[in-house]
Structure 1
Amino acid sequence: MKAQITVLAALAVFAASPASAIERLRTDTRSCAEIQSFVRANRAVILQYPPSRGSGPLLYDRAVANSNVCLGNGFAEQSYVPSKDTRNCAIWICSPTTDLRP
């Protein structure tokens, strides 16, 4: 009986907690340091940024704090996005692990 009450209480707490959605950040309105700090604090963030050549729809990347945040067998690989203060702000994105990489 105690086990059933404990399970029901745990389910009630879980159901009442807010869903943890991944944060989004527009990079061209933030400095590179702010972007990097935000990614470290949130561990994984969807970055939105304008294309480097002219106009067009926003581009998206999932920036991560390190390889531990990558799903499956992926690893963190360095990439760059534009920021308010630089054209090449260094971030980490997940790339799949393959046997073809040297």
Structure 2
Amino acid sequence: MKRIALYLALCLLPTMPLEAALAQSRPSTTNRPCSVNRQSVAANGAIVLGTGGYTYDRFVANRSFCEFDEGIEPAWVPSRDTPSCFIGYRCKSRDPVWFD
């Protein structure tokens, strides 16, 4: 019985760090100054940030972090020191252009 318990403990031990990695929190723009939020986007290229409450979005430094059929739009978010802080861009689906 003790051997079975020890065996199960040793088998489950390697999976414990994976559980914590799956539930990582994302930084919130409202808790950090505008300059820190802007720097996070620039340093990572693309990052998911909380924008207050239970909302979040993906922000990019430039179009190279979007899909080939997406464009970019300026992203303004609330931050600790300003209600409207430009931190980079959001990827946005482009409307198809049909030529007649």
Confirm or deny a common fold (TM above 0.5): yes
Map of 1:72 onto structure 2: 68
Q: How many residues align?
A: 72
Bigger radius of gyration, 1 or 2?
A: 2
Distance 1:65 1:24 in 2: 17
Q: Alignment identity in percent?
A: 35
What RMSD over aligned residues (CA atoms) do the two structures have, in Å? 1.7
Q: What is the TM-score of this pair, normalised by structure 2?
A: 0.65
Per-residue CA deviation, residues 76-100 of structure 1 (Å, 9 max, x unaligned), is 2102111000111113100012136
**Cα distance, 1:59 vs structure 2:** 0.8
Q: Which runs of 5+ in 1 are unaligned?
A: 1-22, 51-56
Corresponding letter in the other structure for 2:64 = N
Which structure has greater helix proportion? Answer: 2
SS in 2 for 1:33: helix
Q: What is the TM-score of this pair, normalised by structure 1?
A: 0.63
Q: Which runs of 5+ in 2 are unaligned?
A: 1-24
Displacement over 4 Å in runs of 4+: none
